[in-house]
Amino acid sequence: SVKTTALRLSLCHRSWFQEAFNITSKEGSSWDVALNQAAVEALYSAAYIEDYLDCVENLPDDVQRNLSQLRELDVKYQEVLAELEQQQGLLSRRDPDVGRKKVMLQIQHSLIKSQELGDDKLQLLQQIQDLIENKVRQLDQDYRNLDHEPETREAKRSRRQRGHDDEQAPAPHPTCGRRQPKKKRRRGASNSAGHQQGHQQGQQGHQQRGGGVPSPAEPPIDPDEPTYCLCEQVSFGEMICCDNEECAIEWFHFSCVMLTTKPKGRWYCPRCRGDRSNQMKPKGS
């Protein structure tokens, strides 16, 4: 097939290029990446050519099938016209033996049949037009995808590289029980001192739970950093979110709500729960 031929040609060109310039292929090298990219682009081009050839080869068969049906309808239409001419001749003779009412009914039947055949011919012509337009639209779309394919692959490689760098970089915050808390607006300027004190207490409590191991240099305290939980401190350690969408606090520290692991199913905070932690308190109670 065209794809197999293109793959063989790309591999042959790659081997010849390496031998001609005495290049040793190393995984991840710029030469190897460039040659692999050329091979992939050759495969995409071969796939487009193969689809184009299939479309061009199959199009005449599909159109010919509809044209054959159109020719058959045209033959039937000519037969109906011949019947109409014959019936019109019977009416023009004014022969008393000929029943005019019967002939008029035959003419009406022939006219209805001719109209149905004409509608069928128009429908076949519309099918032929739609078939050609669909093939053209498909080829245009494949061609546009072929032009944009190198940019798409380059964007994917950039995203993969950024994801690899993010995995190697240290996490700025500890993991939460369900998801990281969203940034909130400031509760008020009067709480800025409480934010700062809560941040210091949270860091000290976190060091005590970790066995007294000194933490690295702390970043400057942000007075606008939001506070969470019943303790009204900043985010630290593992946290869990209340499943009540109307909860005013939303996020809670594991230690403040007596949790050691993430619970299964829904979880509601002490202010929103009913008799159990997985049941929400009825509204108005």
Domain ranges of the chain: 2-168, 174-285
CATH of span 2-168 = 1.20.120
- Does 53 score more than 70 pLDDT? yes
Q: Work out the average pLDDT over 80-93.
A: 85
Q: Work out the average pLDDT over 79-101.
A: 80
Mean pLDDT of the chain: 69
What SS3 class is residue 198? Answer: helix
- Does 75 score more than 90 pLDDT? yes
Range with top average pLDDT, 1-10, 48-57, 74-83 = 74-83
pLDDT band per the 50, 70, 90 thresholds, residue 113: very high
d(C-alpha 125, C-alpha 257), whole Å: 73
Decide: residue 20, CB within 10 A, 0-12 exposed, 13-18 middle, 19+ buried: exposed
Q: Which has the higher per-residue pLDDT, 83 or 195?
A: 83
Closest to 235 measured CA to CA, from 176, 171, 166: 176
- Does 138 score more than 60 pLDDT? yes
d(C-alpha 216, C-alpha 206), whole Å: 13
Q: Work out the average pLDDT over 194-206.
A: 44
d(C-alpha 44, C-alpha 41), whole Å: 5
- Does 239 score more than 60 pLDDT? yes
Structure tokens belonging to residue 232:
């009204």
Q: What is the pLDDT of residue 178?
A: 46
Q: What is the pLDDT of residue 35?
A: 55
Q: What is the pLDDT of residue 111?
A: 92
Q: Work out the average pLDDT over 62-71.
A: 87
Q: Which has the higher per-residue pLDDT, 66 or 93?
A: 66
- Per DSSP bridges, beta strands 251-253 and 239-241 are antiparallel
Structure tokens belonging to residue 45:
């081009």
| Long-range CB contact pairs, 242-246, < 8 A, 24+ | 242/267, 242/268, 242/269, 242/272, 243/267, 243/268, 243/280, 244/268, 244/269, 244/272, 244/280
Q: What is the pLDDT of residue 23?
A: 46
Return all residues near 206 (Cβ < 8 A) that are at least 6 apart: 215, 236, 237
User: Annotated binding residues for Zn(2+), as ranges?
Assistant: 229, 231, 242, 247, 253, 256, 269, 272
Q: Which has the higher per-residue pLDDT, 202 or 95?
A: 95
The number of C-alpha atoms within 13 Å of 154 and in the hemisphere containing its C-beta is 8
Q: Work out the average pLDDT over 164-174.
A: 47
| Long-range CB contact pairs, 187-193, < 8 A, 24+ | 187/226, 187/227, 191/227, 191/232, 192/223, 192/224
- Does 102 score more than 80 pLDDT? yes
User: Annotated binding residues, as ranges?
Assistant: 229, 231, 242, 247, 253, 256, 269, 272
Q: What is the pLDDT of residue 32?
A: 57
- Does 277 score more than 60 pLDDT? yes
The number of C-alpha atoms within 13 Å of 179 and in the hemisphere containing its C-beta is 6
pLDDT band per the 50, 70, 90 thresholds, residue 266: confident
∠ CA 21-23-28, rounded to 5°: 145
Q: What is the pLDDT of residue 98?
A: 63
Q: What is the pLDDT of residues 16-44, one digit of tens each?
A: 444 544 444 444 455 555 556 666 676 77
Does the domain formed by 174-285 have CATH 2.102.10.10? no
Q: Are 117 and 77 in contact (CB under 8 A)?
A: yes
